[in-house]
Amino acid sequence: MRFLQEDPWERLVQLRRRIQTSCSRCCCAPATPSVYTNYPDNVVKAFISKSAELGIDVFRVFDSLNSTSNMRWRWTPCGKDTDALCEAAICYTGDILDPARTKYSLAYYVKMARELEKMGAHVLAIKDMAGLLQPYAAHALVKALRDEIDLPIHFHTHDTSG
């Protein structure tokens, strides 16, 4: 709205009218729904509900520090108050194939995925914001997740050169 001088809700309605067969997605980090400003919980919940009502199909919920407690209330409207889906995201960091790196191990990500599934996520995303997840590690991670959870898995990376 600040940059385009238009009503973002009206823009969403226009887009949904023209793009009826594709899913639309909105990213939601703690207290910052689609923008880089913090808002109170009730404002974020209202934003998610209104966005779903006007055409957002999937909300990718994530916390850069992988705090599942920060993510839990984000998808309250998804699937309960709306038809929208919650895509809970694990933010990948480190190298799961390096035995010297013990904090963010394969077990860490599997445990988090199990927790997100129990919390009611509809889809699990692996969010690789820094392009750290190399092919062999990605194979090991996705295989372990598929063995442990029953959610569809989406891989999102910002690695544009590899």
So where are the chain's domains? 8-157
What does the pLDDT read at residue 3?
73
Least trusted range by pLDDT, from 35-39, 115-119, 126-130: 35-39
| Single-letter residue type at 122 | H
Least trusted range by pLDDT, from 5-19, 31-45, 105-119: 31-45
Q: pLDDT-based confidence at 31, cuts 50/70/90?
A: low
Chain-wide mean pLDDT for the chain?
87
Comparison of pLDDT for 54 and 28, the residue scoring more: 54
Helices (H), 5-128: 8-18, 41-54, 68-72, 106-119
Q: Is the pLDDT confidence value at 26 over 90?
A: no
Look up residue 27 and give its two tokens.
């990213």
CATH class, domain 8-157, is alpha beta
Q: pLDDT-based confidence at 43, cuts 50/70/90?
A: confident
CA Rg, the chain, in Å? 17
Q: pLDDT-based confidence at 153, cuts 50/70/90?
A: very high
Q: Are 33 and 73 in contact (CB under 8 A)?
A: no
pLDDT tens per residue across span 81-99? 778 898 999 999 989 999 9
Query: Could you tell me the pTM of the whole model?
Result: 0.86
The string over 100-133, giving b where at least 16 C-beta atoms fall within 10 Å of a residue's C-beta and e elsewhere, is: eeeebbeeebbebbebbbeeebbbbbbbbbeebb
Q: Are 20 and 47 in contact (CB under 8 A)?
A: no
pLDDT tens per residue across span 50-71? 888 998 999 888 888 898 887 8
Q: Are 111 and 149 in contact (CB under 8 A)?
A: no
Dist CA 97 CA 41 (whole Å):
37
